[in-house]
Structure 1
């Protein structure tokens, strides 16, 4: 996958919408995201550099094929196209990194996408005793008690716990089952 395609997909993933939709919302002025116009300009430049690099690679390939067929006069042309390819690939990488940096800036500005964040909890975090009671109920329905199965069972009940708390609960449940 080319750097330009990867970067486009990354932008679409981070914004939660296709690039065409992002362009339409930016053109109509519906977006209040200050990073989006800059990001779209950079993506346009990256796409152009990608097209130029593909063209330079085709030219290099054609010149190389002619050179291999015995036209040694073309050695300079092969070198010229090879230099173009290297320069364009460096430029493409630099432009892609600039887009990635803009995505990081967007995160730093705390500009979440339009999609609801996954971190929102369905229910407030229960206290330890309520959590342990729910965990016991989940564990009773499990064939094998492990961290992931317990986490899934608790999430199915709308309970989201940190890895640290889950480990402590799991340890208590295992101690209880060992003592019975």
Structure 2
């Protein structure tokens, strides 16, 4: 499921692996992922110093975003999968690595699958990151403007103006993401 989401969103494996049920939301009939940072607060009483422990991390400021869920994911039963999750975590089997990153171990599992089952052996190809490359290429091929592609993928445009004003609407982002085609061989 993680690689399927990566294929249709361009999200980083680490971002996907830390998703919780509450990160799947909807607005005006459009379902989307909320990529956020979240902290667990620990401390005893007012006299102690509050310690902020990252529960969910993002690569940079631009990584905090909403990503519409591609219609193919919904058709394949993603919302049913979310509703059936027994814990708040969508992917509780994605255990943290020694650095606490839930995507670290998942990346290793996905890489082994791509190498062993799919047979892509080129050492220059990073299996988990290749989903982001595919998504970016598809955005370009289907005329999705670079600023929308960058927003969907959590890329910074390097301009201070991105810190001001409202973000792109989920509707506008959905108009772009629904143009991403289903990979050949996976169509019904």
TM bracket, shorter-chain basis: under 0.3
TM-score (normalizing by structure 2): 0.22
Q: Which has the larger radius of gyration?
A: 1
Q: Whose strand fraction is larger, Structure 1's or Structure 2's? A: 2
TM value normalised by structure 1? 0.22
Higher relative contact order at CA 8 Å, sep ≥6: structure 1 or structure 2?
2
In terms of fraction of residues, the more helix-rich structure is 1
